[in-house]
Amino acid sequence: LMHLTRKLIEIRSMLLSIDQSDALKLPSIVVVGSQSSGKSSVLETIVGHEFLPKGNNMVTRRPLELTLIHTPANDKHAAEYGEFPALGLGKITDFSQIQRTLTDLNLAVPSSECVSDEPIDLRIYSPNVPDLTLIDLPGYIQISSMDQPETLKDKIASLCEKYIREPNIILAVCAADVDLANSPALRASRAVDPLGLRTIGVITKMDLVPSDQGASILAGNRYPLHLGYVGVVAKAAKKTSHHDNTQEIVRRNEEEYFARHREVFRTGNLMVGTDTLRRRLMEVLESSMASSLHGITNAVQLELEEATYQFKVQYNDRRVTAESYVAETMDKLKARFAEHTQQFRRPIIRAKLKAMLDDKVMDVLEQLYWLDRRTPELNQLGQDPRKTADDVDPYWRHKLGAASSLLTKSGVGRDATLLVADGLRTLIDSIAASEPFNYHPRTAERLIEFSHAILRDRIGVTSDQVENCIKPYKYDVEVDEREWALGREQAVKLFENELAMCETKLKDIRKKVGGSRRLGGLIQYVKTLEEKEKERKMKRLEGLPAEDEMTPESYKYPPAQIHDARHALLYSDRLSVLKLRLAALKSKRCRAGPENDVFCPEAFLDVVADKLAYTSAMFINIELLDHFFYQFPREIDSRLLYDLDRREILEFARENPAVRRHLDLQERKDKLEEVMKQLNSLSTLRADPKPAASRR
Ligand code: GDP
């Protein structure tokens, strides 16, 4: 039978780790009693050590699940130790350290909460303890002190109620010097166990009442309990010397007391003394566990069947481990990244850079040609077949040089590098924001962090290198026939696009203000406004008095429409210069070849832009992309994968709700299987005819 309890205690802890539902609970002994009833003293005499937190201000704030495990007595002292499985502190042989740890754990509950229902798991291994499980609860408070809120009493009461439910055995601790009618422990027990079938009474402080009065309490005639009462004397003794074991003194004290009053207690055949209490508790727990065995086996069988079924249905029996999930996730990350590196192939990068440079070319053209009133002259010169490029005003040659240098010196190295780096950054950011990294915010953050760091590291070097390599173009750009033809074609395309865009804008404005007639009127009006503005400016410059600024005409159109008209005016000016230049680009002169560059700056600049894009793409590839593609997967391994310890791997996996559910169900099934195996082995154990091992 001995082995049975031990096994069942093990099974009980396993079941507790599976879930806290009542169906899967094996009985334990729950200790209840009001403050100062002597509860702690009783528990300590059972264990044989002082280990519970002391102090008068509510030290017990969390339930204590105390598991006592009897160890073989060959080495009596060395074998005594405690363990907090949840804390991973290892074996603690110093019981005062256990006491300190318990105090810390209890004090860690914020005083605003007062009590917590999260149990502390403590196991004590010793040759001097019986196999028992005991649950110590915060004591009932009778008087609410100033700093204890009224609700605390209720909170403790409901906590106790949760534990004193079936199948647990209630150990009701009452002091002999307090009327049992007033014992909150007995009152609580009666509420759930009115017949007293699973309550055992412990009467402490027997030494404080006359022995015959004590004996009559133990007889239990007033409040009969099926499991009876045990009387103890557990008065804490003062240490007389440093080496004294206080528990030893308590023990002797009790022995002496009951020896002195032997007659009284023997006649009633009453249970007295801590040894008797221990034995009684073991018997009660054993028989209670044995009678729960059948029920619990059925319950576990049902749960196991359900878990097995769910595991089959939901996961087709596929097992996962946190490790495999982490490894898979990292592989997926690398693969996802590799997929997208297609976007960074050289021709694609080159095209992107070219588009960026096209914008720059348009800006340069706008600044130097479109806003120049002499630009129509250039068209006329181009149409004159007798003129060669050398015949035209040096003004145009000079302008072309300025345009080319504005383009080549516009910070291409930095802009091109940043454009590509930004593309990489956006890619990483989007990977980090998508599944499964949305479940792993800290990992996503680290991923972003180190990717950005690699980029930051390379941006300076790369932009310098690119800038260096395009340097020759700042001085001279040679253009051959083929390049010219291509440049001209592309310039035509760009201009056609720009034209189309301006036309759309103009159309939109026309629609907005209410038709082309209306817009015509508006534009006319804006033009006169501008004329007047000019006149006024002139007069001011000449020192003449200006006429009244507010002409009644300014109320003719709403300001928003005047604003639109000004835009429309700009677009139509732009359209006419674009059309002019497009005609030039399509002319014989421009088709002829690169020697006509002065007449066709657009074609020339397009060729320059193309060369810049080509060179930039080549060096960005070497200095930025190759480095990044090499380093990125290695950083994933070193910063995300190998950096994790076992606990972090588990945490990581459980961050993903789907994986967490999978792991939970799998673990539940495994544990239930193990419990079932243990329960099955018990039935053979019970059939074992060999005598039980010696009992303490
Ligand atoms: P708890 O608050 O219920 O845990 O009670 P304690 O175990 O701390 O005991 C309260 C007080 O009662 C302490 O001062 C103990 O020394 C004292 N006490 C406990 N058991 C006995 C006993 O059997 N006899 C006497 N005289 N005092 C006891």
pLDDT of residue 693: 43
Q: How far is the CA of 257 from the centre of ligand 1 (A)?
A: 16
Q: Which residues pair with 315 in a beta bridge?
A: none
Residue 75 has pLDDT above 80, yes or no: no
Does the Cβ of 207 fall within 6 Å of ligand 1? yes
Contact 466, 619 (CB under 8 A): yes
Q: Tokens 């059948």 sit at which residue?
A: 294
pLDDT of residue 161: 81
pLDDT of residue 143: 47
Q: Tokens 């008065």 sit at which residue?
A: 235
Atom of ligand 1 nearest to the CA of 52: 4
Q: In terms of DSSP bridges, do strands 81-83 and 29-33 run parallel, antiparallel, or are they unpaired?
A: unpaired
Q: How far is the CA of 44 from the centre of ligand 1 (A)?
A: 11
Q: How far is the CA of 40 from the centre of ligand 1 (A)?
A: 7
For 216-225, the pLDDT digits (tens) are 888 888 888 9
Q: Between these two residues, 238 and 592, which has the higher pLDDT value?
A: 592
Among residues 59, 191, 200, 45, the alpha carbon closest in space to that of 138 is found at 59
What is the band of 150 on the pLDDT scale with cuts at 50, 70, 90? low
Contact 608, 473 (CB under 8 A): yes
For 491-518, the pLDDT digits (tens) are 999 999 999 999 999 999 989 888 888 8
Separation CA 289–CA 38 (nearest Å):
27
| Structure ipTM | 0.97
pLDDT of residue 507: 93
For 307-332, the pLDDT digits (tens) are 999 999 999 999 999 999 999 999 99
Does the Cβ of 205 fall within 6 Å of ligand 1? yes
pLDDT of residue 535: 86
Does the Cβ of 462 fall within 6 Å of ligand 1? no
Residue 366 has pLDDT above 80, yes or no: yes
Q: How far is the CA of 231 from the centre of ligand 1 (A)?
A: 13
Does the Cβ of 37 fall within 6 Å of ligand 1? yes
Atom of ligand 1 nearest to the CA of 173: 3
Contact 598, 384 (CB under 8 A): no
For 569-588, the pLDDT digits (tens) are 899 999 999 999 999 999 99
Residue 522 has pLDDT above 90, yes or no: no
Does the Cβ of 581 fall within 6 Å of ligand 1? no
What is the band of 553 on the pLDDT scale with cuts at 50, 70, 90? low
pLDDT of residue 640: 82
Q: How far is the CA of 23 from the centre of ligand 1 (A)?
A: 36
Residue 12, number of CB atoms within 10 A of its CB = 22
Please tell me the residue having the least CA distance from ligand 1 atom 24: 205
Residue 418 has pLDDT above 50, yes or no: yes
**Which of 200-214, 229-243, 422-436 has the lowest average pLDDT?**
229-243
For 7-23, the pLDDT digits (tens) are 888 888 888 888 766 67
Q: Which residues pair with 64 in a beta bridge?
A: 120, 136
Q: How far is the CA of 151 from the centre of ligand 1 (A)?
A: 26
What is the band of 212 on the pLDDT scale with cuts at 50, 70, 90? confident
What is the band of 689 on the pLDDT scale with cuts at 50, 70, 90? very low
Residue 368 has pLDDT above 50, yes or no: yes
pLDDT of residue 385: 82
For 249-270, the pLDDT digits (tens) are 888 888 888 888 888 888 777 8
Please tell me the residue having the least CA distance from ligand 1 atom 9: 38
pLDDT of residue 469: 94
Q: Give the mean pLDDT of 325-346.
A: 90
Atom of ligand 1 nearest to the CA of 54: 8
pLDDT of residue 115: 81
**Phi, psi at residue 140, to the nearest 5°?**
-65, 140
Q: How far is the CA of 208 from the centre of ligand 1 (A)?
A: 11
What is the band of 57 on the pLDDT scale with cuts at 50, 70, 90? low
**463-to-69, 104, 343, 364 alpha-carbon distances in Å:** 71, 58, 20, 22
The two most distant CA atoms of the chain are separated, in Å, by: 145
Residue 1 has pLDDT above 50, yes or no: no
E-strand spans in 137-264? 169-175, 199-204, 229-231
What predicted TM-score, i.e. pTM, was given to this entire model?
A: 0.66
Q: Which of 31, 34, 35, 36 most suits a substitution to test ligand 1, by most atoms within 8 Å of the C-beta? A: 36
Q: Which residues pair with 123 in a beta bridge?
A: 67, 83
Q: Which residues pair with 121 in a beta bridge?
A: 65
Residues 6+ apart with CB under 8 A from 234: 38, 41, 42, 44, 45, 204, 205, 250, 254, 274
Please tell me the residue having the least CA distance from ligand 1 atom 21: 235
Does the Cβ of 38 fall within 6 Å of ligand 1? yes
Q: How far is the CA of 616 from the centre of ligand 1 (A)?
A: 86
**154-to-112, 119, 138 alpha-carbon distances in Å:** 15, 18, 12
pLDDT of residue 236: 66
Separation CA 390–CA 268 (nearest Å):
136
Q: How far is the CA of 236 from the centre of ligand 1 (A)?
A: 7
Atom of ligand 1 nearest to the CA of 234: 23
DSSP string, 527-585: HHHHHHHHHHHHHHHHTPPPPPS--GGGGSS-HHHHHHHHHHHHHHHHHHHHHHHHHHH
pLDDT of residue 692: 43
Average pLDDT of the chain?
A: 86
Please tell me the residue having the least CA distance from ligand 1 atom 27: 235
Residue 642, number of CB atoms within 10 A of its CB = 8
For 589-615, the pLDDT digits (tens) are 999 989 989 999 999 999 999 999 999
**CA angle, residues 133, 107, 34, in degrees to nearest 5:** 55
Q: Give the mean pLDDT of 155-168.
A: 82
Q: How far is the CA of 205 from the centre of ligand 1 (A)?
A: 7
Q: Give the mean pLDDT of 121-130.
A: 89
Residue 2 has pLDDT above 70, yes or no: no
Among residues 114, 47, 364, the alpha carbon closest in space to that of 39 is found at 47
For 444-481, the pLDDT digits (tens) are 999 999 999 999 999 999 999 999 999 999 888 999 99
Q: How far is the CA of 118 from the centre of ligand 1 (A)?
A: 26
Does the Cβ of 41 fall within 6 Å of ligand 1? yes
Atom of ligand 1 nearest to the CA of 254: 23
E-strand spans in 109-224? 120-126, 132-136, 169-175, 199-204
What percent of the chain is modeled with pLDDT above 90?
Answer: 44
How far does the chain reach from its first CA to its final CA, in angstroms? 13
